[in-house]
A and B are shown apart, each in its own frame.
Chain A
């Protein structure tokens, strides 16, 4: 088209002299000249348009090529392709890069076509990253995932952040600004300045403000920097902290790198404020860690508080009952593979029933015959624990099994830049409280609870009142075991699920129950939480190994002085 027009223009130019010959023709000629000028203008316009469309075409080709290049095995080439994709201003870039980061970008083995996948019922739903076209479904083995490494992951996150600054989702915008905090270039700073003016959300605007202040701290005039410091004062982000700290650094001769004294003073004041706030944060954090460890101890021990504390049975298989609960979680999860989020809720009653039934069986077949002979009970239940371990090894596997976390238990709750609480710990803490309250209610408010307390306080008298003490024993043991099973569900979210997992908790459980005072649920509660907190407050300065030893030594000394624990039983039943 363009070359055709050039020919036409040439033809007009050639005709010009001829037309000049007559005056009559002059008008016409000027008309033609005018026309030819108009043509020229049109032509230029067309050429510009052509260049424009061709760059758009080049971008289109570049986009396609870059996407195709992602299928290469070499990470360096993939890196180039990602950079190329990010440079092309295209709406389709963001979903492609996001899919690559989330391991949802595959290519078909048959024709090497790159596809974005969404897993549905063990099948993959494919869509074309180029035009969004749906390509039907495919099995996993027909596809090959486009792998990435850490370098690529980092690059992708940085590129995605700058691409998603205008995302409609507030969370995404906030994450993007936070990701870019501390490494803005001039163009990005201008871009964010513009965005900050229109930003509606206060948090995002604040984050943008800190990012820009940090940028000015690096590149601005002294006055701007001073202003930036006052803006950043009290900001808890570690990046800000590092930048302020850098202002106070000295070189090898002991001279400050930053020559402006006012700036240094302002920075050190800002840092003082930050560090005092961080101190408060870290106390809150450690307390949470302690309570969380305490809640795990509480869950593990509370079943024992019933079997050992109320019934007086030393049950060495308690840890294995926890393990059975954890394995129930695993089995429930593998029975409903597409409902991970729901499976955990189903697992709680299931684990209670499974462990409870095993507990009742142990009581009926072993412990019942050994009441009043603690040493034999200890040995017999130890044997039972070995049997249960081997049972799991033979029936399921000697290897650990994988229990996945539901989505609502992954990640953490970001309270401020320096303080975040992980969801799984938070839920387990709440769960432990619920279990404790429920048990307390069962023992205090139900008929079973009344009978249990009656039997444990005075067995012959209870029998004389018409209570079937044998039945109550079995139920009590079943209840304690069932609670151990529930603890197993919670622990499966924190640690390994394997045949040996129970042994890790048996000592801790006895420790808590003995420390808290045998036969008292409140003692177990206070004992577990205070031991957890003590452990976590000692840990930062002594290390994990020594912290454990110190706690054990403390308990030994405590038991020497108060052999009946924190909350000793009072009254006649305490005498024997």
Chain B
């Protein structure tokens, strides 16, 4: 009896010791990776997927031996789709939790709110979503598409392959659609499209009554010239929009809609019948048949234990960003922000569509551009793609304010917005 009790005590003591020891090992020898994606609120639909992607990448990296012999440790916080909270959570991640890198943000407004904190505390952020450009921060790597890697090639496709002459630019009323449409309008006008052949329309977030707008589009599109809709309509508002299109008899062969915010994830919550044939422009589609993509999808579905889960473009951007960061840390031999930043430029990793992504000096990537048609099963069939990859352009060449600006974070220049005309770096931090 006594003996047994003693043994038990020893056992507990041993377990306790082992636990405290392993905790020490953990504390001393891990690299902390911050994950800043909304897990509640309106953006949870899209962002929680990216959180899972980062966790999967960390898991895989740890199984493969970690980075520089150290294990990675995820620090997940929930900014709850609340933009000011993004800034607070960033401060918490960098100053309190001492993370070495952050993967996060989705909306542009959340990125803008995080930016001053990152620059003040010299943090490192990988931003994985397509955005409107006009930004290049020393502390941010943009692994999603810039407008010239999504919007402009899509318009080129419509113009050259589908011979579109009239344009509807429809978007949700916030910064990404407004800037993208400004760029597109300037681009179309430079290509000789007249003002009367461009219709611009903005709607509030979550707009659900599309009757009059779709009826206007129908009238605009029946003037004898081929018409297309370029849609930067965001999130939930897409479902009633496409439903109304279908009900009013607008099909993809009379007026095709090319969307920049509708991917596999969004389609999985929609009855896709009325959408068949409409287009989307991305740098990745789940349906792309490449070995590395098939493998990625397999491990993703295994990780979330759901055979039906889809993959999408921002996931690929997260994948590329993570792989690049690992490579850069190994190249620099440290997780120090400045060293990693320097090492990042020029890093090349395979993307998921069978090509190579390279980090350019302006902190943007090289990407292929794909145009896909929506199929009845919610997947895309690629109908067009660029030859090779396109270099992301931080400052658009089609806006008067930014066409003279370049960004180059390499040694002598080290500036995010250098004006080639005046030869000056404006000195603003982004």
Contact = CB atoms under 8 A, between A and B. Distances in A.
Most buried by A among B48, B212, B213: B212
Interface stretch (B136-144, B146-154, B249-257): B249-257
B356 interface: no
A203 to B, nearest CB: 18
B273 A404 contact: yes
B202 A544 contact: yes
Contacts of A486: none
A293 interface: yes
Interface string A266-300: 00000000000000000001100100110010000
Interface stretch (A40-48, A146-154, A191-199): A146-154
Given A399-B45, A545-B203, A289 B247 contact: no
The A interface is mostly helix, strand or loop, or mixed, namely helix
Given A286-B212, A292-B211, A412-B248, A500 B202 contact: no
Contacts of A535: 209
A2 interface: no
A175 to B, nearest CB: 11
A238 interface: yes
B207 A544 contact: yes
Nearest to B215: A285
A150 B277 contact: yes
Interface stretch (B218-226, B346-354, B403-411, B414-422): B218-226
A336 interface: no
B249 A401 contact: no
Interface in A96-117: 103
A500 B236 contact: yes
Contacts of A150: 162, 252-253, 256, 277, 373
A536 B215 CA distance: 12
A544 B204 contact: yes
A242 interface: yes
Contacts of B162: 150-151
Contacts of B274: 410
Nearest to B252: A150
A296 B240 CA distance: 13
A286 B239 CA distance: 22
A454 interface: no
B182 interface: no
Interface in A395-453: 398-405, 410-412, 420, 422-425
Contacts of B208: 494-496, 504
B236 A412 contact: no
Interface stretch (B58-66, B114-122, B375-383): B375-383
Given A242-B224, A405-B271, A543-B202, A496 B247 contact: no
A149 B383 contact: yes
B276 interface: yes
Nearest to B48: A398
Given A404-B271, A412-B247, A412-B249, A498 B45 contact: yes
A487 to B, nearest CB: 13
Measured as residues with beta carbon below 8 angstroms from the partner, the interface class of chain B is 35 or more
Which of under 10, 10 to 19, 20 to 34, or 35 or more describes the interface residues of A? 35 or more
A239 interface: yes
A75 B381 CA distance: 12
A495 B276 contact: no
Contacts of A401: 269
Nearest to A536: B212
B222 A496 contact: no
Interface in B241-298: 243-244, 246-249, 251-253, 256, 265, 268-274, 276-277
B337 interface: no
A154 B224 contact: no
A147 B208 CA distance: 31
Interface string B189-217: 00000000000011110111101110110
A564 B243 CA distance: 38
Contacts of B243: 405, 424, 494-495
B173 interface: yes
A514 B213 CA distance: 28
Given A150-B277, A495-B240, A540 B224 contact: no
Nearest to B239: A496
B44 interface: yes
Interface in A121-147: 147
A301 B56 CA distance: 44
B417 to A, nearest CB: 31
Contact of A153 (B173, B253, B265): B253
27 contacts: A147-B375, A149-B277, A149-B373, A150-B252, A150-B253, A150-B373, A151-B253, A153-B251, A154-B253, A157-B253, A238-B219, A242-B222, A398-B44, A398-B45, A400-B239, A400-B270, A411-B247, A420-B248, A422-B247, A495-B243, A500-B42, A535-B209, A536-B211, A539-B212, A540-B212, A544-B204, A544-B213
Interface of A: 75, 103, 147, 149-151, 153-154, 157, 238-239, 242, 246, 285-286, 289, 292-293, 296, 390, 393, 398-405, 410-412, 420, 422-425, 494-498, 500-501, 504, 535-536, 539-540, 543-545, 548
Across the A-B interface, give the 8 residue pairs with the lowest CB-CB distance, nearest first: A400-B269, A238-B222, A404-B271, A422-B247, A242-B224, A154-B253, A153-B253, A495-B208
Given A75-B383, A544-B202, 4 more contacts: A422-B247, A496-B236, A539-B213, A544-B207
Interface of B: 40, 42, 44-45, 48, 162, 173, 201-204, 206-209, 211-213, 215-216, 219, 222-224, 236, 239-240, 243-244, 246-249, 251-253, 256, 265, 268-274, 276-277, 373, 375-376, 381, 383
